[in-house]
């Protein structure tokens, strides 16, 4: 019982670091991919947040990114092992093409997350821990407080520049 | 089994935040959290290979819906 | 399904229906309709109809886009 | 009584009342409210085990929405 809760917390921290790193490496906070992402960024900035962090949150909303790749890769590893993870990467690429996005970040994140999650499965974690952990990680970015989350992302983006 | 309870609790929290928020542009990230939680719950409820396809289809569908609403909202504001 | 999960997803569906009926903004109505679909999809999956769930998940956004075609015209 | 059946009846009643007493008296609000009882009726049909009927119902709902949208735009253009 307590062991599983600790596993979920550790999985949340691992997947948070994974998808934020991949998203910032592919320059998501730089510009809005579609016009809706810029509108969401403008509304978040009007509510007191930072613009570049808001742009990254708008990009996560408007097309499947590395966060979606991590979640679907965890689902694929849970259902069918490492084959399911690669199938999930193909589905993320198709979804990216539907939403008018180049699709590099989502596919790279899904393939990377497949191998990371499979390695942690060998080390004693269950794949369900990573599904719940990824949902907790996306809650801390998009769901708790837009102002603080966008300022944190803007500070990380400044470090990468 | 704890994972399913965690995902359901986050889904309820995100649904309440979507309804309480007034601004349209700030509603959409909460709706995205709800999509993540529900597509995780779909896979956790049934352990079947087609459940992965269902989760991916629901996720891409909800993202496409958010994308269409956000771009229409941006066009409406600009005019 | 377990009773607590049934109550949780039923609560999401009910809240989506009530807010879609009461909100006056049309974008807010469409987002609340998405919340309603998110609430009823786990019930479909739990009955075992995964093919129905795939169809619903693909057709619900298309209906929303159809409504957006006329909402944009009204906004202008 | 089954829980899914009760939930479907509740959503159906809410949807029918919201279509009858629509608050902003516009065609778009009435059209969006018309989607709510469709999902309630889908939950009621889920209680009886007929997969093909549910598939047909979902498809026909989307197609009828498209027809009504085309009708609204044509009416705006003509008069």
As for how many domains chain C has, the answer is 1
Domains of chain A: which residue ranges?
2-31+65-146
Least CB-CB distance to C20: which of D10, D36, D76?
D36
pLDDT in tens, A102-135: 778 888 889 999 999 999 999 888 888 999 999 9
- Is-contact D36 D14, C-beta < 8 A? yes
Distance (Å, rounded) from C-alpha A149 to C-alpha A152?
5
Contacts of C63 in chain B (CB under 8 A): none
Least CB-CB distance to C24: which of D11, D24, D42?
D24
Rounded to the nearest 5°, which phi and psi values hold at A17?
Answer: -60, -40
Q: Looking at residue B76, what is its pLDDT?
A: 56
Let me know the angle formed at the C-alpha of A10 by A8 and A11, rounded to the nearest 5 degrees: 65
Q: Looking at residue C2, what is its pLDDT?
A: 84
Nearest CA to B36 out of B8, B17, B16 is that of B8
C-alpha distance from residue D42 to each of A31, B67, C30, C53 (Å): 41, 26, 18, 12
Distance (Å, rounded) from C-alpha C47 to C-alpha D8?
15
Contact between D36 and C21 using a beta-carbon 8 Å cutoff: yes
Categorize the per-residue pLDDT at D59 as very low, low, confident or very high, splitting at 50, 70 and 90.
very high
Give residue C64's domain range.
3-75
Q: Which residues contact C48 (CB under 8 A, 6 or more apart)?
A: B46
Nearest CA to B31 out of B12, B18, B16, B41 is that of B18
- Is-contact B14 C35, C-beta < 8 A? no
Name the CA dihedral angle for B46, B48, B53, B57, rounded to a multiple of 10 degrees: -10
Is a pLDDT exceeding 80 seen at residue D1? no
Q: Which residues contact A85 (CB under 8 A, 6 or more apart)?
A: A73, A76, A77, A110, A111, A113, A114, A115, A117, A118
pLDDT in tens, B5-44: 999 999 999 999 999 988 888 899 999 999 999 999 999 9
Q: Which residues contact D67 (CB under 8 A, 6 or more apart)?
A: none
Chain B: partners with 3+ C-beta pairs within 8 Å: A, C
Interface test with D, best of C63, C65, C75 (most D CBs within 10 A): C63
Chains C and A physically touch (3 or more Cβ atom pairs below 8 Å): no
Is a pLDDT exceeding 90 seen at residue A23? no
Nearest CA to C26 out of C56, C73, C71 is that of C71
Is a pLDDT exceeding 80 seen at residue D79? no
Contacts of D40 in chain C (CB under 8 A): 17
Q: Looking at residue A96, what is its pLDDT?
A: 87
Half-sphere exposure of A28 (CA within 13 A, CB side): 34
Q: Which residues contact B45 (CB under 8 A, 6 or more apart)?
A: B4, B51, C1, C42, C45, C46
Q: Using a CB–CB cutoff of 8 Å, tell me whether D10 touches chain C.
A: yes
Structure tokens at A113: 């997350």
pLDDT in tens, C53-71: 999 999 999 999 999 888 7
Nearest CA to A69 out of A47, A46, A94, A52 is that of A94
Distance (Å, rounded) from C-alpha A156 to C-alpha A149?
11
Structure tokens at A25: 């490496």
ipTM for the complex shown: 0.92
Q: Looking at residue B14, what is its pLDDT?
A: 93
Is a pLDDT exceeding 90 seen at residue C32? yes
CA C9 from centroid of its chain's CA atoms: 12
**Nearest-CA distance C4 → chain D (Å):** 12
Contact between A36 and B44 using a beta-carbon 8 Å cutoff: no
Q: What is the DSSP string of chain D?
A: --HHHHHHHHHHHHHHHHHHT-SS-SHHHHHHHTHHHHHHHHHHHHHS--HHHHHHHHHHHHHHHHHHHHHHHHHHHH-
Q: Give me the mean pLDDT over the D34-48 stretch.
A: 92
Q: What is the DSSP string of B42-73?
A: HHHH--SHHHHHHHHHHHHHHHHHHHHHHHHH
Q: Which residues contact A129 (CB under 8 A, 6 or more apart)?
A: A4, A7, A8, A10, A11, B3
């Amino acid at each position: 019982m307590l062991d599983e809760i600790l596993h979920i917390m550790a999985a949340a921290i691992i997947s948070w670091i994974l998808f934020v790193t991949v998203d910032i490496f592919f320059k998501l906070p730089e510009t809005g991919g579609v016009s809706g992402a810029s509108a969401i960024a403008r509304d978040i900035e009007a509510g007191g947040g930072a613009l570049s962090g808001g742009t990254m949150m708008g990009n996560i909303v408007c097309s499947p990114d590395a966060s979606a790749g991590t979640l679907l890769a965890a689902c694929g590893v849970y259902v069918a092992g490492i084959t399911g993870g690669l199938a999930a990467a193909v589905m993320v690429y198709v979804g990216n093409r539907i939403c008018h996005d180049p699709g590099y970040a989502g596919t790279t994140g899904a393939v990377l997350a497949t191998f990371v999650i499979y390695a942690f499965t060998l080390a004693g974690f269950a794949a369900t821990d990573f599904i719940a952990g990824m949902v907790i990680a996306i809650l801390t970015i998009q769901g708790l407080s837009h102002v603080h989350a966008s300022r944190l992302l803007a500070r990380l983006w400044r470090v990468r520049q | 089994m704890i994972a399913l309870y965690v995902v359901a609790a986050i889904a309820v929290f995100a649904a309440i935040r979507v309804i309480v928020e007034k601004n349209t542009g700030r509603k959409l990230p909460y709706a995205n959290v709800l999509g993540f939680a529900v597509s995780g719950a779909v896979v956790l409820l049934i352990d079947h290979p087609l459940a992965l396809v269902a989760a991916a289809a629901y996720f891409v569908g909800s993202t496409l819906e958010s994308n269409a609403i956000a771009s229409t909202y941006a066009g409406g504001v600009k005019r | 399904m377990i009773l607590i999960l049934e109550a949780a997803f039923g609560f999401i569906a009910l809240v989506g229906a009530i807010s879609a009926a009461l909100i006056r903004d049309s974008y807010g109505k469409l987002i609340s309709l998405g919340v309603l679909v998110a609430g009823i999809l786990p019930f479909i999956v739990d009955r075992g109809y995964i093919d129905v769930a795939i169809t619903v998940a693909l057709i619900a956004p298309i209906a929303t886009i159809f409504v957006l075609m006329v909402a944009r015209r009204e906004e202008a | 009584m089954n829980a899914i059946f009760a939930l479907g009846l509740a959503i159906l009643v809410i949807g029918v009342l919201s279509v009858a007493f629509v608050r902003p008296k516009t065609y778009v609000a009435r059209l969006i409210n018309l989607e709510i009882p469709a999902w309630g009726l889908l939950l009621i049909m889920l209680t009886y085990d007929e997969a093909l009927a549910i598939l047909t119902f979902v498809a026909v709902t989307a197609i009828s929405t498209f027809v009504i949208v085309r009708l609204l735009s044509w009416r705006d253009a003509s008069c």
